[in-house]
């Protein structure tokens, strides 16, 4: 070979590292396989068989990422939870329509591929899949020098679930006398991290291993608290729920309205819960206006459930059995589909 001949490696792509990463994650992926999986690890496309006994199944899909929370994971060199965040986020997104997860696919892109980091990330994805009863049946690990500067990487996920057509949840089921129930978040989840990181680094002048003000461990411990899945808390009572809202980007005002019909408002009683310490620290240090806080962060509410008054106890009991203590956070009134923070 000529001394001037170029190889893929000279352009920054290491095929051997890619193969090593695939070998590391094989067992992790196969550990998520459930009854509907068709085929084996390494196929060009993942295959999955629909559960038997369904009359009019509707497939529900979603795609998402974890935002700049991934920067905290990189700075802290803790990569084994970010994948679980991703799965839980996606599970919640389809759960609000009454859908149960079937399978998941992930996409990880590096500037320079590190098989050890790939393994840690996929381990988190696999854990999330096992906990939510869905199979990790495919994905992509890409090395793109020049697009990402090492050690940066990006992560995205794609989920598919199912729901019987006559059991789809949403605004059309909501009634005037319904009540609004809140289920707590476990921290920032996966939203608002660009602002949170700016406050922590520029205003509080803290690094990832410094103690976070008010307790809870280090900055990394607090900011990497995992995004909670509400599947176990709500699956037993989906037939008693009318609509739900996953509180992600846009906070309560811009997510609860997605669960409302055009002629009903949701009145959220802000005095019904104590905002967790992490949000109060960020608000004070960043001098962030309250309205901006509630549009950027979940403020301690990860999921909102709308149901009939007669089903309040069932919903709260099911959540409590899964270790999630919910509460009545508001009510509905005639209006225009708005969310009112009272």
Q: Residue 138's pLDDT is what? A: 87
Which pLDDT tens digits describe the chain residue by residue (342 residues)?
A: 555 654 555 445 555 565 666 666 677 777 777 777 777 766 677 777 888 888 899 999 999 999 999 999 999 999 999 999 999 999 999 999 999 999 999 999 998 888 889 889 999 999 999 999 999 988 888 888 888 888 999 999 999 999 999 999 999 999 999 999 999 999 999 999 999 999 999 999 999 999 999 888 999 999 999 999 999 999 999 999 999 999 998 999 999 999 999 999 999 999 999 999 999 999 999 999 999 999 999 999 999 999 999 999 999 999 999 999 999 999 999 989 899 998
Distances (CA, A) of 29 to 19, 35, 136, 138: 15, 14, 6, 8
Tell me the HSE value of 113 on the side-chain side, using a 13 A CA sphere: 23
Copy the structure tokens of residue 63.
Answer: 């795609």
| Number of Cβ within a 10 Å radius of residue 321 | 11
Copy the structure tokens of residue 181.
Answer: 């129930």
Copy the structure tokens of residue 334.
Answer: 């005639």
Copy the structure tokens of residue 291.
Answer: 């309205």
Helix axes 115-132 and 15-30, enclosed angle (nearest 10): 20
Count of residues making up the chain: 342
Lookup result for tokens 């819960």: 273
Q: Which CATH architecture has domain 171-341?
A: Alpha-Beta Complex (3.90)
Q: Of 61, 47, 36, 31, give the one whose Cα is nearest residue 131.
A: 31
Q: Of 321, 69, 79, give the one whose Cα is nearest residue 219.
A: 69
Query: Can you tell me whether residue 70 is helix, strand or coil?
Result: helix
Q: Where do the structural domains in the chain lie, given as residue ranges?
A: 8-167, 171-341
DSSP string, 153-182: EEEEEEEEEEEEGGG--SGGG--TT-EEEE
Query: Can you tell me whether residue 334 is helix, strand or coil?
Result: strand
Q: Identify the bridge partners of residue 158 per DSSP, sorted by sequence position.
A: 63, 105
Distances (CA, A) of 303 to 212, 225, 229: 25, 16, 9
Q: Where are the beta strands (DSSP E) in the chain?
A: 37-38, 47-48, 57-65, 100-110, 135-143, 153-164, 179-184, 241-246, 264-268, 301-307, 327-334, 339-341
pTM (two decimals) = 0.89
Please give the torsion angle defined by the CA atoms of residues 281, 74, 158 and 65, in that order, rounded to the nearest 10 degrees. Answer: 40
Q: Residue 54's pLDDT is what? A: 87
Q: Residue 146's pLDDT is what? A: 84
Q: Of 71, 221, 219, give the one whose Cα is nearest residue 154.
A: 71
| Number of Cβ within a 10 Å radius of residue 107 | 17
Q: Which CATH homologous superfamily contains domain 8-167?
A: PurM-like, N-terminal domain (3.30.1330.10)
| Nearby residues of 91 by Cβ (< 8 Å), 6 or more positions away | 101, 128, 132, 134, 159, 161, 229, 231
């Amino acid at each position: 070979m000529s001394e001037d001949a170029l190889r893929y490696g000279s352009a920054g792509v290491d095929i051997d590292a890619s193969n090593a990463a695939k070998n590391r994650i094989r067992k992790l992926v196969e550990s998520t396989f459930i009854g509907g999986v068709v085929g084996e690890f390494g196929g060009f496309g993942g295959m999955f068989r629909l559960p038997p006994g369904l009359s009019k199944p509707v497939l529900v899909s979603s795609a998402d990422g974890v935002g700049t929370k991934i920067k905290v994971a990189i700075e802290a060199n803790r990569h084994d939870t970010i994948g679980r965040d991703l799965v839980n986020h996606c599970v919640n997104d389809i759960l609000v329509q009454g859908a149960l997860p079937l399978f998941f696919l992930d996409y990880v892109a590096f500037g320079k591929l590190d098989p050890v980091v790939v393994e840690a990330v996929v381990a988190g994805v696999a854990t999330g899949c096992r906990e939510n009863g869905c199979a990790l049946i495919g994905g992509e690990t890409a090395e793109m020098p020049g697009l990402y500067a090492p050690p940066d990487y990006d992560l995205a996920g794609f989920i598919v679930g199912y729901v019987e057509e006559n059991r789809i949840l949403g605004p059309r089921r909501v009634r005037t006398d319904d009540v609004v129930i809140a289920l707590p978040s476990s921290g920032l989840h996966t939203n608002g991290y660009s602002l949170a990181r700016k406050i922590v680094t520029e205003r509080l002048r803290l690094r990832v291993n410094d103690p976070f003000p008010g307790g809870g461990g280090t900055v990394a411990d607090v900011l990497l608290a995992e995004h909670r899945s509400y599947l176990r808390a709500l699956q037993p009572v989906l037939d008693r729920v009318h609509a739900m809202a996953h509180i992600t980007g846009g906070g309560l005002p811009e997510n609860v309205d997605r669960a409302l019909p055009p002629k009903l408002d949701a009145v959220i009683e802000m005095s019904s819960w104590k905002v967790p310490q992490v949000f109060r620290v960020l608000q004070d240090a960043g001098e962030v206006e309250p309205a901006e806080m509630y549009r950027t962060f979940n403020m301690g509410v990860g999921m909102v459930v709308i149901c009939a008054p007669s089903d309040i106890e069932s919903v709260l009991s099911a959540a409590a059995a899964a270790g999630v203590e919910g509460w009545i956070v508001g009510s509905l009134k005639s209006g225009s589909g708005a969310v009112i923070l009272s």
